[in-house]
């Protein structure tokens, strides 16, 4: 196996995680949890293959507002929003989850495309007062799902987000409620590494540790599209339809056009055929 340099991945390996050989490293399973996930199972997934970009500076919101498909300038501190990042020709390069904590805006992007997306965004910063930084290794991303998730999160969050894409911040990090899959509540927890290492042994007492694939399966069931490097090489009709559904359901129509009137920003996934 390749050498593990990441502190969080080393911690997970010590607790039975089976890691992929290739970058970005992912969780293939746990030695003590080999049974398939049942519909009513409550489980936890470590999601190291999801990267995190931080945008800071007084013009961060205005800059991202001009680059992404969703409204960033009116993004509140108690919500998260889905957005797309497109090429000038309208090709969908990435789907991402964004939220605001304090004066900073965070973008959750698959790690296999994060460097390219962040580099492309950086190209357009020019003189804008904004700084983009890859902070993926400073936080652990955890996915929690199932009826036992609420109680498991109680010791770290006094109040849990009540609806899809609602968000709360605490000393333990950022907690975002995601769309349910088969009526199962789902949460995305972005925790500082120290907090994650303390929480993991307690969480696995009531939540079964699973491979990252279990989380992605629930994403599909919840109708949440995820653009990674693999599907960009070969576009399928189902992906195009799923992204179109994302646009209809989650992209706000409050972003003003050139004439100052609200309009809906449309995008389509054309892939990278060349």
How much is the pLDDT for 227? 84
Q: What is the mean pLDDT of the chain?
A: 85
- Helix and strand numbers (H, E) in the chain are 8, 15
- Phi and psi at 193, nearest 5°, equal -55, -45
The beta strands (E) that lie in 111-251 are given as: 131-134, 139-145, 167-170, 173-181, 184-192, 208-209
- Is 60 within 8 Å of 241 (Cβ atoms)? no
Token pair, residue 6, equals 């990441």
How much is the pLDDT for 20? 92
Q: 108 by DSSP, 3-state: which?
A: strand
For residue 201, being part of any structural domain is answered with no
For residue 273, being part of any structural domain is answered with no
Q: How far apart are CA 47 and CA 56, in angstroms?
A: 24
Among residues of the chain, what percentage have pLDDT more than 90? Answer: 70
For residue 173, being part of any structural domain is answered with no
DSSP assigned state of 230? H
Token pair, residue 172, equals 């333990």
For residue 140, being part of any structural domain is answered with no
The beta strands (E) that lie in the chain are given as: 17-19, 27-30, 43-46, 50-56, 80-86, 92-101, 104-110, 131-134, 139-145, 167-170, 173-181, 184-192, 208-209, 255-256, 262-263
How much is the pLDDT for 229? 81
- Is 226 within 8 Å of 219 (Cβ atoms)? yes
CATH number of the domain residue 70 falls in = 3.30.70.1400
Q: How far apart are CA 51 and CA 97, in angstroms?
A: 11
Q: 75 by DSSP, 3-state: which?
A: coil
Buried b (16+ CB within 10 A) or exposed e, 39-73: eebbbbbbbbbbbbbbbebeebbebbbeebbbbbe
Query: Rounded to two decimals, what is the model's pTM?
Result: 0.82
For residue 71, being part of any structural domain is answered with yes
For residue 234, being part of any structural domain is answered with yes
How much is the pLDDT for 32? 63
Residue numbers in the chain where pLDDT is lower than 70 = 1-5, 32-40, 230-274
CB atoms within 10 A of CB 272: 13
Number of domains in the chain: 1
For residue 174, being part of any structural domain is answered with no
The strands making up 43-46's β-sheet, listed across from edge to edge, are 167-170, 173-181, 184-192, 139-145, 43-46, 208-209
For residue 24, being part of any structural domain is answered with no
**Which residues span the domain enclosing 233?**
51-135+225-263
- Phi and psi at 162, nearest 5°, equal -95, -20
How much is the pLDDT for 226? 84
The pLDDT tens digits of the residues spanning 230-256 come to 655 554 345 555 566 655 555 454 555
């Amino acid at each position: 196996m390749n050498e593990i340099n990441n502190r969080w991945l080393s911690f997970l390996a010590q607790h039975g995680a089976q890691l992929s050989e290739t970058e970005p490293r992912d969780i293939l399973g746990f030695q003590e949890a080999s049974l398939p996930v049942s519909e009513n199972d409550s489980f936890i997934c470590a999601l190291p293959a999801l990267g995190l970009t931080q945008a800071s500076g007084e013009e961060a919101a205005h800059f991202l507002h001009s680059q992404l498909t969703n409204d960033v300038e009116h993004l509140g501190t108690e919500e998260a929003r889905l957005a797309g990042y497109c090429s000038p020709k309208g090709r969908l390069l990435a789907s991402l989850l964004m939220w605001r904590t304090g004066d900073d805006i965070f973008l959750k992007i698959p790690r296999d495309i994060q460097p390219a997306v962040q580099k492309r965004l950086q190209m357009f910063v020019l003189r804008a007062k904004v700084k983009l930084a890859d902070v993926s290794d400073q936080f652990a991303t955890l996915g929690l799902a199932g009826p036992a998730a609420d109680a498991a999160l109680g010791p770290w969050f006094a109040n849990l987000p009540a609806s899809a894409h609602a968000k709360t911040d605490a000393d333990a990090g950022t907690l975002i409620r995601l769309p349910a899959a088969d009526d199962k509540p789902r949460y995305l927890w972005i925790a500082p590494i120290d907090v994650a290492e303390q929480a993991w042994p307690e969480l696995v007492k009531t939540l079964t540790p699973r491979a990252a694939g279990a989380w992605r399966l629930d994403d599909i069931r919840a109708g949440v599209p995820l653009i990674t490097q693999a599907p960009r090489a070969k576009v399928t009709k189902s992906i195009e339809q799923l992204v179109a559904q994302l646009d209809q359901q989650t992209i706000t129509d409050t972003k003003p056009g050139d004439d100052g009137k609200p309009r809906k920003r449309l995008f389509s996934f054309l892939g990278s055929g060349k």
